[in-house]
Structure 1
Amino acid sequence: MTKTTGSRAYIKTLENEGVTHIFGITGAALIPICDDLLDSKIRYVSGVHEQGSAHMADGYGRVSGKPGVCQVTSGPGATNIVTGVATAQLDSSPLVAFTGQVPMSMVGTDAFQEVDIIGVTASISKWNYQVRDPAKIPWAVKAAMHISNTGRKGAVVIDLPKNITTEEADFDYDVKVELEGYRPVIDPDSRELDTAVKVLISAKRPVILAGGGVIAAGAGKELTELAEMLMAPTATSLMGKGAISSNHPLSLGLCGMHGRHEANYMVPDADVLLVVGSRFSDRTTGSLAGFAPNAKIVHIDIDRSEVDKNVDSITRVIGDAGYALRGLIKRIKAQRITTNGWHKQIAELKLDCEPYDYGAGVSSPNIMRAIREALPSDAIVTTDVGQHQMFAALHYDVYEPGTFLTSGGLGTMGWGMPAAIGAKAAKPDKKVLSICGDGGFHMTENNLTVAVDEDFPIVVVLMNNRLLGMVAQWQRLFMNGRLAAVDRDYTVDYTALSKTYGAHAVKTETMPEFRAELRRAVDADYTTVIEVPIDPNENVYPMIPPGMGLKDILTVD
């Protein structure tokens, strides 16, 4: 037992847990903690808005494989991270948010900057907890890190009243974290694996659908091995993009509302569909009536509550995707697998369904392909939310799992650029690029100053169509072309604005100009913003109209 203040115990426990970065903004409730951080090796990354700091911690967590940590003050500091917490939770990203709070003697009095952040975040976090005894700080910090990064990963919020950080107590840093009822299943039941294998080896038209659970488990290699054993065409959800390399012969690409033709045609025709770490989002399935209607579905997921929630399965495997896939591979190796050439349809569909000629001019598909050509295979790319996100999902090839990051569940505009900063903090030796639209960029562009001042050099490709493009596309297609509340043709000059934050910034008008600036930016050791004006009338296709099935694909206006 060691006697010290709660603040020092908090920092000591974070250090013991391997935390190297904290993203956040200070305030009155955090003064003792920030003072003690001066004596710690933990790097404090001072932000400009708490939402951006939460997104940085989210990006850090997705890339590093350990929880990203953000720390904000009470009241508005805490409420400003709500969107960031919800974003991480819906995408199963490991995030731990520590919030300052008024002293316990003032809780419940509507004191200055008092907010019940435990009540606010109850429905958008995996777990939250208010520390009311200083001696509980090591347990609370260790529990937060453990819960966030085990089982189905997610967001945790820990509330720290100010008196808890200033009072002295005896602290046990070796305290065990035991949580009644929290027993994530990692290693699947062998009987579930045996049943799944029987279904899989009987398939004539097997298809695999890989989700974010494969990425979270680091199981891309195992997924690819199983696909090759079964000769199973493999599609991905948006969060699963990169689980199998885009250039693998069995890769179908994205499945769903803006899915690729080959994925959206082959998934419904499967007789056995193996779903790994995906929750059957409506954006992945389309109308359930048209989603693999005749398939026997085998669902692997670490979260039992996701199985049979949206789509019924014939059998399940509960556990970590890596453990589950290795268990299937071991069993299937002992079986004789007969393939019938079903997988050959992939190449045929790719030939039949690539009629597009994007020409040599500036277009979103050409931009995505130029980005891919300019980056090394292990570069990390984040996207914001909107049309550019779907263009990236369709046309930016991913070769290594965990190198394509996006906000899938909540669809948070403004997420991409601060998440790229967090990713760069986690992997300073990797090239990091963020693809943004003007709408999302405008929401969090002030975080550029963090990239510059904290020396996290990233590249931002700003695709500017001067409107909220995805909403405008829906209005063009489904509202008789009447555009409402989407015009973003503001007077702001994003290139000039970016320069005020200290970034190198340039506007390109042609693809040769863009490629040249992109090559320079990727090789540079400073933050660069490349603004690319694009056609405001450009639509992203393929697209499934709302309420329709996977094969009901729109390809033209």
Structure 2
Amino acid sequence: MKLTGAEIVVACLKEQEVDTVFGYPGGTILNVYDALYKHSDEIRHILTSHEQGAAHAADGYARATGKVGVCLATSGPGATNLVTGIATAYMDSVPMVAITCNVNLPLLGKDSFQEVDIAGVTMPITKHGYIVKDVSILADTIRKAFAIARSGRPGPVLVDITKDVTAAQFEYQEKKPEALPVKKKYEEEDIEKAVALMKEAKKPYIYVGGGAVISGAYQEVRKLSGLLDAPVCDTLMAKGVMDGHSDYYTGMIGMHGTKTSNFGVSECDLLVALGARFSDRVVGNASAFAKNAKVLHIDIDAAEINKNIHSDAFVVGDLKEVLTKINEKLPEQEHPEWIAHIKELKEKYPLSYDHSVLSCPYIMEEIDKATEGKAIITTDVGQHQMWAAQYYKYSEPRTFLSSGGLGTMGYGLGACIGAKCGRPEKICINIGGDGCFRMNMNELATASRYQIPIIQVVINNHVLGMVRQWQTLFYEKRYSQTVLDDGVDFCMVAKGLGCEAFRVTTKEEFDEAIRKAIELKKPVVLDCMIGEDDKVFPMVPAGAPISEAFDASDMEA
């Protein structure tokens, strides 16, 4: 049957079983929005307050569900407003398709009104980008975009369509989604070498990255830790792969990782890296990282092997598939002395904070209790992000959504809305600092418009907390442009945007407020006042070995 290009876009979204899209209309994409109007009973459109919010919402939807997130924008500034969200998804390997429309084909390249080469702009931050100038290739291009976004190491794909293509007609035939052909990247001897290294190890440590979430390998990782009798640390992206209550779990590694993880990895004789990329925030001083260990690296992306840290052995392939094979071949190992040593480190170096006042660690522990550890937690970026990673006990993957690679302030609220749209059965809570919250707090209007019952917790210390922490420790307390004590009333703002709001100044007030927020089942803001000089510990100075992690007690000493 003959359809317009705009109708083909919608038909292809239905082929891919897309149920929710996030976006903002404009002149060049009007035909697509007209087609969406006719299919509003099949595809839910969430009108965000800003295109960046749409990109973050699509990202949050994708991370929470494992499906491809979709965002839409018009040409020019609409398209460029997606860029930060696309880059955020790219850095954290999130499957997303961003559909933009551009000026008519004859106007391309002539500096036309609201024209921008968005495919060129986003080339470095997408897995692939298309500009569609011919309606005959539109359907296949959109299909390829979804296949590329979800295949291998996932990531965002951009499809830019000229407006005249959305109006032109072409014969459309429905097709079922097809996966891209996957070539087996590893040989059986790679598996054998990995198993041999594990059998030789006396002090093995498992380091888990976001690839374990993406591949759905959390059960395989947990099984491996038992078979190998090895402690497990994780990155920000891997929260929930290991149950936070497990005896084998030692917490996060890196700049704000636990002393147990940082010291343990520094002492181990085999480091098994699973779906991780050895980020600088994990590794610190690369020349001193895990210097006593052989490194076994398993990752789907061959480009990550030996990129930041040299591997003694590696397996390039899907983590779930590779670990299934390893777990079949690996006999049960025992390392009682090593495990006892790690247990001693955990007892000697627990995470700690001042229990006498309201603080973010306390808030995270109370949220954990109030939600029985089953909520989806999204975060912005800064101190609160680290506290949210440290003090909430994640027991399943896809329940901690945060901008790890790009570190995008303002990410969390849009992502929380997207997560709630994708997983409506879950309590979804965004943890944001006051600096981050003011960047994209306009998305409260989105939550209010659709009555999406998310909870926004503002960790309000009236400063840019993480930057201030660095200024305190390394810049002799020169607080250049980090004080935010300007009289902004977030509760009034929230109520003005149609949400409930509560100001919290004590532990008792927070306990009552979080339970009330959960019961209300509507968008709620909790404005929580904490000390301006609260610090995230442990900490590793930039470029230092992770074995030099220090905390407040070390500073006092």
Q: Normalising by structure 1, what TM-score?
A: 0.97
1:360 aligns with 2:356: yes
Any residues of structure 2 matched to 1:447-466 within 5 Å, and which?
A: 447-466=443-462
CA distance in 1, matches of 2:292, 2:13: 50
User: What is the aligned partner in structure 1 of residue 417 from structure 2?
Assistant: 421
The one of 440, 446, 457 aligned to 2:442: 446
The 1:402/1:363 distance shift into structure 2, 3 A limit, reads same
Q: Is the 8 A contact 2:15 2:176 kept in 1?
A: no
Q: Residue 157 of structure 1 aligns to a residue in which SS? A: strand
Q: What CA deviation, in whole Å up to 9, does each residue of 1:289-321 have, x standing for no partner?
A: 221012111101011000100001011111111
The one of 243, 266, 269 aligned to 2:241: 243
Q: Residue 239 of structure 1 aligns to a residue in which SS? A: helix
Identity %: 39
Q: Is the 8 A contact 1:186 1:302 kept in 2?
A: no
CA distance in 2, matches of 1:77, 1:537: 39
CA distance in 2, matches of 1:16, 1:234: 40
Any residues of structure 2 matched to 1:144-163 within 5 Å, and which?
A: 144-163=145-164
User: What is the aligned partner in structure 2 of residue 322 from structure 1?
Assistant: 320
CA distance in 1, matches of 2:50, 2:339: 49
Q: What CA deviation, in whole Å up to 9, does each residue of 1:362-386 have, x standing for no partner?
A: 1121111111111133210001100
CA distance in 2, matches of 1:322, 1:366: 35
User: What is the aligned partner in structure 2 of residue 93 from structure 1?
Assistant: 94
**Per-residue deviation, 1:171:** 2.6
**Per-residue deviation, 1:158:** 0.4
Paired positions, count: 551
Q: What CA deviation, in whole Å up to 9, does each residue of 1:462-499 have, x standing for no partner?
A: 01111111111101100111110111112210011001
1:495 aligns with 2:491: yes
- Give the unaligned 5+ runs of structure 1: none
User: What is the aligned partner in structure 1 of residue 207 from structure 2?
Assistant: 209
Q: Is the 8 A contact 2:298 2:316 kept in 1?
A: yes
The 1:460/1:311 distance shift into structure 2, 3 A limit, reads same
CA distance in 2, matches of 1:458, 1:552: 39
Any residues of structure 2 matched to 1:474-489 within 5 Å, and which?
A: 474-489=470-485
**Per-residue deviation, 1:392:** 1.3
| RMSD between aligned residues | 1.5
CA distance in 2, matches of 1:462, 1:502: 17
User: What is the aligned partner in structure 1 of residue 281 from structure 2?
Assistant: 283
Q: Is the 8 A contact 1:135 1:171 kept in 2?
A: no
Q: Is the 8 A contact 1:185 1:302 kept in 2?
A: no
The 1:344/1:510 distance shift into structure 2, 3 A limit, reads same
User: What is the aligned partner in structure 2 of residue 30 from structure 1?
Assistant: 29
**Per-residue deviation, 1:183:** 5.5
User: What is the aligned partner in structure 2 of residue 14 from structure 1?
Assistant: 13
The 1:351/1:29 distance shift into structure 2, 3 A limit, reads same
CA distance in 1, matches of 2:182, 2:447: 37
**Per-residue deviation, 1:217:** 1.1
Q: Is the 8 A contact 1:469 1:536 kept in 2?
A: yes
Q: Is the 8 A contact 2:16 2:177 kept in 1?
A: no
Moved more, 356-365 or 486-495: 356-365
**Per-residue deviation, 1:358:** 1.8
Q: Is the 8 A contact 2:269 2:293 kept in 1?
A: yes
Q: Residue 267 of structure 1 aligns to a residue in which SS? A: helix
Q: Residue 546 of structure 2 aligns to a residue in which SS? A: coil
Q: Is the 8 A contact 2:373 2:393 kept in 1?
A: no
- Give the unaligned 5+ runs of structure 2: none
**Letter matched to residue 137 of structure 1:** L
The 1:469/1:186 distance shift into structure 2, 3 A limit, reads farther
**Letter matched to residue 150 of structure 2:** N
User: What is the aligned partner in structure 1 of residue 43 from structure 2?
Assistant: 42
The one of 509, 513, 533 aligned to 1:513: 509
Q: Is the 8 A contact 1:138 1:175 kept in 2?
A: no
The 1:360/1:508 distance shift into structure 2, 3 A limit, reads same
The 1:355/1:112 distance shift into structure 2, 3 A limit, reads closer
